[in-house]
Chains A and B, each alone.
Chain A
Amino acid sequence: MLTLQCPYCGVWAEETELHAEGEAHLKRFGPDSDDADFESYLFMRENPKGVHLERWRHASGCGKFFHAARSTTTLEVFGTYSAQTLEPPQDIKDKISAKIPNWSWREFS
């Protein structure tokens, strides 16, 4: 079972207390954007074998959204971090690099 630490309330919450909210770091394209950007914002998602950055919500706990970095192959969790950020913090990136050198995920590596 997946257990993630909520960065807002510090609780080690197991999967049933959380809700998966899809991919992290989506850049929104709204009104006046071109069709290709809007389409990719709506539909195009990463489906990596390996490092993945996801959004979760501590649904039955403090109710906050947060981000998690984990591996889809080993289910290893590299860490969780605040949702108030546009990219993963350096310490999370370092932790991933220590395990998986030369990883990349969208524009991050």
Chain B
Amino acid sequence: MSKAVSALDGVAFEGFAKVEETGLRGMITVRGDLASKEMAAAVKTATGAAVPALRKVTSGDKASVAWMSPDELLVVVDYDQAEATVSQMNEALKGSHALVANVSDARAVFRVSGDGSRDVLAKLAPVDFAQEAFGADDIRRSRIAQVPAAVWGNDDGSFEVICFRSVAQYVFDVLKVSVQSGGEVGFH
């Protein structure tokens, strides 16, 4: 198999906060009835996490699971674990109406860290990034400038942005503009 590379090869930029591409990440789209016993069991065995509540992210020993829509989850694992996790979940969901697909190579991930991270994102997305409205383990699907993206908060106060790989350069460029020194807002 050919050597896998991430969209922008770990590019980074530092202004009043830091933006970096995090590199390869395993991502699995899971669709099905999130309230069903089968789904809860499949998610538990494959990731060690529970099925997340509305707009939340749960973490297990093997992977994190993010709520994407009323019938969709995103499982985030190590890149080389993705295929194994897909087959494990397919096995566990056998017989129920569900879809599990490895979308790792279709995505890019950026991390925004530093004091002004909330401002960096708030400039680009129509989302309330106030501390009490959006914290660790929250996920929000929205747009970054003109393209769809999802953002979640990490425990260390940084944020991760996922977008389609085809628009990775665009998203990095707008994040770069947003994070430029001199562009501090000081709102959040």
Residues of A whose CB lies within 8 Å of any CB of B are 8-11, 13-14, 16-17, 60-64
Q: Is B54 interfacial (CB 8 A cutoff)?
A: yes
Which residues of A sit under 8 angstroms from B143, Cβ to Cβ? 16-17, 60
- CB pair B142–A9 under 8 Å, yes or no, is no
Chain B residue numbers with a CB within 8 Å of A13 are 126
Point out the residues of chain A lying under 8 angstroms from B183, CB to CB.
none
**Which chain B residue has the least Cβ–Cβ distance from A62?**
B69
Contact B126 A17 (CB under 8 A): yes
Please encode chain B, from 131 to 164, with 1 for each CB lying within 8 Å of some chain A CB and 0 for all others.
0000000001111000010000000000000000
> Once the chains bind, are B141 and A14 in contact (CB under 8 Å)?
no
Contacts of A11 in B (CB 8 A): 55, 140
* 4 tightest A-B CB contacts, nearest first: A62-B69, A60-B143, A14-B126, A61-B141
Chain A interface mostly: loop
Q: Name the prevailing secondary structure of the B interface residues.
A: strand
Q: A16-B126, A62-B141 are in contact. Are A10 and B69 (CB under 8 A)?
A: no
20 A-B residue pairs with CB within 8 Å? A9-B55, A9-B69, A9-B70, A9-B141, A11-B55, A11-B140, A16-B143, A17-B126, A17-B143, A60-B142, A60-B143, A60-B148, A61-B141, A61-B142, A62-B68, A62-B69, A62-B72, A63-B69, A64-B69, A64-B70
Report the bound CA distance from A62 to B69 in whole Å.
5
B75 CB, nearest partner CB in chain A, Å: 17
Do the beta carbons of B141 and A8 come within 8 Å of each other?
no
Identify A8's interface contact among B70, B126, B142, B148, CB under 8 A. B70
Contact with A along B49-86 (1 / 0, CB 8 A): 00000110000000000001110100000000000000
**Are B54 and A10 touching (Cβ within 8 A)?**
yes
- Name B147's closest neighbour in chain A (CB-CB): A60
Within 100-144 of B, Cβ neighbours of A (below 8 Å) are at: 126, 140-143
CA distance A25 to B143 in the complex (A): 28
Q: How many angstroms between the C-alpha atoms of A9 and B69 in the bound complex? A: 7
A56 CB to closest chain B CB (Å) equals 15
Residues from chain A with Cβ under 8 Å of B55 in the complex: 9-11
Of chain B, the residue at the smallest CB distance from A7 is B70
Task: Please give, as numbers and ranges, the residues of chain A lying within 8 Å of B54 by CB-CB distance.
Answer: 9-10
* B69 engages A17 (CB within 8 Å): no
What separation, in Å, do the CA atoms of A9 and B70 have in the docked complex?
A: 7
Within the complex, the shortest CB–CB distance from B144 to chain A, in Å, comes to 9
Could you tell me the distance between the alpha carbons of A4 and B69 in the complex, rounded to whole angstroms?
A: 17
Min Cβ gap A14→B in Å is 5
Give complex CA distance A17, B70 in Å: 17
B92 vs chain A, min Cβ distance (A): 24
